[in-house]
Amino acid sequence: MIIDADCHITPIKDAWGIQAGELIQRMDYAGVDKALTWLQPAYFPSVDEGNALVYQAARQYPDRILGFGWADPHYGLETAKDQIKRCVEEYGFYGVKLNGAQNKFYIDSPEMSLPLVEEIARTGKILAFHIGTDAYEATHPYRLAKIAKQFPETQILCVHMGGVAFHDLSDTAIETAQECPNITLVGSGVRAVNILKAIQILGAERVCFGSDTPFAMMHVELAMYQALMRDQVSVKDQTLVLGGNIQRLLKICD
């Protein structure tokens, strides 16, 4: 089973945005079975509307789209906590994502972020963070390490593993994951050589394929993963990276 661990959808039709139907088309073209899917900023007009869109997509394509929520502390902590509650209890999402780059906050902020981290951790669901150099200070891997150590029972997805821009923090992200066994790296928006390095250092069970669709071409990103692992990673470990790890973390049956 191949699972893309980083996909976005939006109702806005522009140069980048795609809707659920087009996501399915891209998955079919690439040969991807399932896609972990969250909203695509900018909001339209709200996080609530974005989460509702993902929920409807997951209902429309229950065997293909794995719904994942989003919360933004700038709406106020109580409102953001309500967003988390709705994502988990009403929508049945697999987890909730916090994005300090898009939403402009330090991910380890005691005032803005940690109360939401605690709320997500309390649900037992997966916590995801955007970790990239597009917000170097706010989403630095060292800030993620502080969170992971404070909530060791919570499984955390490190999306982009410090990449996104030309320069990246992937070495630091790998070091952080070495220190924190509850962190799993999603290698989207990062160089192939750094993904392979993460697999070699951490083991295949700690790295997941992600394309960052629609900001990248899913079939190209999948081909890149398959090429970089060929003759470098065992077939068994390739299946972990390409879907088995997310399948295990999200407790998805075949």
Spell out the residues 6+ positions from residue 131 whose beta carbon is closer than 8 angstroms to its own. 139, 140, 141, 144, 158, 159, 160, 161, 162, 169, 173
Q: Is the peptide bond before 141 cis (omega within 30 degrees of 0)?
A: no
DSSP type of residue 205: G
DSSP type of residue 242: I
Q: Which of 57, 67, 28, 55 is nearest to 252 (CA)?
A: 67
DSSP type of residue 213: B
- Rounded-to-integer distance, Cα 66 and Cα 36, Å: 5
| pLDDT of res. 248 | 97
Q: Which is higher by pLDDT, 34 or 40?
A: 34
Q: Which tens digit of pLDDT belongs to each residue from 1-22? A: 999 999 999 988 776 789 999 9
How buried is residue 109: exposed, middle or buried, by Cβ count under 10 Å (0-12/13-18/19+)?
middle
What sign results for the dihedral spanned by CA atoms 44, 46, 47, 51?
negative
Q: Which tens digit of pLDDT belongs to each residue from 208-240? A: 999 999 999 999 999 999 999 999 999 999 999
Q: Which of 55, 63, 11 is nearest to 35 (CA)?
A: 63
Mean pLDDT of 147-158: 98
